[in-house]
Chain A
C-alpha cells in the first residue's frame, strides 16, 4: 500500500463522475411533462366530486378513449366495472376520505371497446394551503399478470377448502359408524351416552356399544384405540364388530376380550401393533326386586365407576388386565357388580381424566373424577352423563382428546 494511493483513486473517480453525469442526463432528453404523459403507468386527477380533470396518455391508450371523451364528462368511477363501482363507493372512497390515501386496490377498468383491464389503484388527496381537499391524484398500474397469479392462488385455496370439507364429511361419516346412532332401551334400566369429538376432520379412536344378547341378557363395551386418524379407525371398526360377534358366540366377558385379542394379533403389523383398551360387560337381569348382575372384564382400560343409591361411589377395579392386541396370550381381569335400584354404572375413556385443567398441564385425574362421582351419587344414567358433559365443556381447550361416556342405571325402588 502506498500512502495517498486511495486518495488518488478517489479523485480519479470523482473526475470520472463529473465528466460522465452531464452527458448521461442530456442523453435521456427527459422532462417532467413527458414523464407524466408517457409514464409506464396511468395517471388521472379528479375533482373532489369525482369528475376527471386531467389524464395522461398512457391511460388514454389503455382505455381507448380520447382526452375530450373523459375530461369534464366522466367520473373516475365511470371507468370501472359496475361491481368495481360498488366497491369504489363502499370501500375505496370512504377510506380515501378518511386516510387521505389508499394503496394498491385491485379494480377493473372498462375500456372503450368493452374489454376489461385489471389495474392496481393508488390514490392520494391533494389539499390546498388551508388543508381543504382539492383534488384526488390516482396512479394505475397494469395488473393483468398479477391478477392471473392471484386468481390461481384463489382457485388453489378454494380447491383446498373443498378438499377439507370432503375430508371432514368423510371423517364424520366414519365416526358415526364407530358409535351407535341411538342407544337401544334396556328394559328395567336407564341408559345414556355422550361422545365428544376433539376434532371435526380426524377420526377418533374411542368406541362403545350396548346391544341385546340371547336370554334377556345384554352386552356393552367401551374402548379406546391407540392413535388417531385412518389407521386408528380401521382398528376401531374391527374391534367394535369383533366384540359384537364374539359376544354372540360366547358372552363370557374375559373370553370376548380374548377373542378380540386374537383378532388384533392376527392383523398385519406394519409399524407398531394395533392395540386398544377395552371394558366389556355382560348385563343379566336379576329375578325379584329388579336390577342387574354385571360381569366386567377389563383390558387396560380406566376402571368403571359405581355410584350407589346410598350416595357412595367407587371404582370397580379390574386389576392386571392387559392391553388388548399387544401379546398373543394376554390376561384379562374380571369383576362382578350387582346393580340395584338407584345404582349407576359409568364407563368412560381417558380423554376425561387426561383433560388438562391448567396452563401448566395438570390433568384432571382419577381422584378428581372419583370426588366428582361422590358428589353426584345417588344419580341416574341420564343425570350422570349430563353432569359429566357439563364438566367436559368446562375443560374448554384442555379437552384435547376424544372422550366417550356410557352409563347404565336402575331406577330407584318405587318409581
Chain B
C-alpha cells in the first residue's frame, strides 16, 4: 500500500530546512493550515497530510477497526515518517492530532525532534478533579449535529468529487469541501477524538514539547492547557491572544511565530 497516497501527503518548502509535519484535527483537512503553511515554507520543509477518512485521503483504506482509536492514526503518522525517511522532524498536531503526536512520539521517539501541541486536550470528558469540559451526552449531541449536516458530502456525489477534485463544473458541490467527510467515518473519528483518555500518556513523552493554547477556547480551555503542561516533563507553554479552537485560522501570524520559535529553539 502506498502510504503517501493513502494519507494524501505533500512535501513543500525549503528543501534544506528542518522538517515540520503539520497534522490537522477532527472536522476538516490539511487545508486548515493554509494560512500558516506559507510562512513556514520559507524556512522549513513542510509535510502536510490528511488523516485517513478526511480530505483527499484514500477512504478505501479506512476501516472502523483501525480508526476507532487514536492509536490507528498514530500508526499512520509513524508510517508516513518512516516512508518519507527525512530524519527526525517537528510534529505539529492540532487538537486531537496533538494526542496522536503524543502517542506516536511515545512509541518511536527517535522519529521526532520536537512536538508542538496546538490547543491540545488529553481528555474531553470531566472526571473527578479533572475538568475536560464535556460529558458523554455532549458528545452524543455532537454526533447528532454531524448527522444533520453532511457538509457537501453526498453518497452519490462523493466518488465523482473525490476523483475530480479540480473540475470547475463541480464547484458548486465543492462548497464545504474542507470539512467533507463520509458521515460514517466522521462518527467514528468523533468518538475516537472526544472519548479517548490520554492523560496517562503525557508523562511518557521524552521529546521536547511546546504547548500552544488559545486564550479563549471553549473546547480546550486554559485549565486543560495547564494540565498538559504540568504532565509533560520539561514542556513549555505559550498562550496566544486568540479566540476559538483554531488559532491557525483566527491568529495565523502568532501561530506561525510560535511554531517557528519551537523549531528554531534550543
Contacts and interface: CB of A to CB of B under 8 A. Distances in A.
A389 B70 CA distance: 36
A50 interface: yes
Contacts of A48: 243, 250
Interface residues of B, number: 37
Interface in B152-181: 175-176, 178-179
B175 A106 contact: no
Name which of A86, A93, A150 has the most chain B CB atoms within 10 A of its CB.
A86
B28 A83 contact: no
Contacts of B146: 87
Contacts of B249: 93-94, 97-98
Interface in A74-105: 77, 81-87, 89-91, 93-95, 97-99, 102-103, 105
Contacts of A35: none
Contacts of B144: 83
Interface stretch (B71-79, B135-143, B231-239): B135-143
A49 interface: yes
A88 to B, nearest CB: 8
A84 B141 contact: yes
Contact of A89 (B31, B147, B245): B245
A93 B244 CA distance: 8
A85 B245 CA distance: 11
Query: B148, B216, B245: which has the most chain A beta carbons within 10 Å?
Result: B148
Most chain B beta-carbon neighbours within 10 Å: one of A83, A85, A99, A147: A83
B256 interface: no
B148 A86 contact: no
A94 B28 contact: yes
A150 B175 CA distance: 21
Given A77-B218, A94-B28, A154 B246 contact: no
B149 interface: yes
B219 interface: yes
Contacts of A86: 134, 138-139, 141-142, 145, 194, 219
Contacts of B219: 86, 89-90
B122 interface: no
A352 interface: no
Contacts of A84: 141-142, 145
Contacts of B139: 83, 86
Contacts of B31: 98
Interface in A176-193: none
A85 B218 contact: yes
Contacts of A87: 142, 145-146, 149
B27 A91 contact: yes
B62 interface: no
A55 interface: no
Contacts of B32: 94, 98
Nearest to B178: A98
Contacts of A154: 147
B151 interface: yes
B176 A90 contact: no
Contacts of B26: 90
Interface string B35-59: 0000000000000000000000000
A152 to B, nearest CB: 13
B246 A94 contact: yes
A148 to B, nearest CB: 12
Interface in A90-136: 90-91, 93-95, 97-99, 102-103, 105-108
A90 B179 CA distance: 9
Contacts of B25: 90
Contact of A91 (B179, B218, B250): B179
A158 to B, nearest CB: 10
Nearest to B245: A89
A219 B216 CA distance: 77
Interface in B98-127: none
A82 B28 contact: no
Contact of A106 (B143, B145, B178, B179): B145
Nearest to A157: B147
The residue in A93, A95, A108 that gathers the most chain B C-beta atoms within 10 A of its C-beta is A95
B144 to A, nearest CB: 6
B34 to A, nearest CB: 8
Contacts of A150: 148
Contacts of B34: 98
A362 B143 CA distance: 47
A288 to B, nearest CB: 53
A83 B145 contact: yes
Interface in A330-345: none
Most buried by A among B134, B140, B216, B243: B243
A15 B148 CA distance: 52
A50 B249 CA distance: 14
Contact of A83 (B140, B176, B244): B140
A63 B34 CA distance: 37
Nearest to B152: A95
B216 A49 contact: yes
Given A90-B25, A91-B179, A82 B134 contact: yes
Contacts of B244: 50, 89, 93
A107 B134 CA distance: 18
A87 B245 CA distance: 11
29 contacts: A81-B141, A82-B134, A82-B138, A83-B140, A83-B141, A83-B144, A84-B145, A85-B218, A86-B194, A86-B219, A89-B219, A89-B246, A90-B27, A90-B28, A91-B149, A93-B245, A94-B27, A94-B28, A94-B249, A95-B28, A95-B178, A98-B31, A98-B32, A98-B34, A99-B176, A103-B175, A106-B145, A150-B148, A154-B147
Report the 7 A-B pairs with minimum CB-CB distance, sorted nearest first: A83-B141, A90-B27, A87-B145, A49-B243, A106-B148, A97-B249, A82-B138
Given A50-B216, A50-B244, A94-B246, 15 more contacts: A82-B138, A90-B26, A90-B95, A91-B28, A91-B151, A94-B249, A95-B179, A97-B249, A98-B31, A98-B34, A99-B178, A103-B175, A106-B145, A106-B149, A154-B147
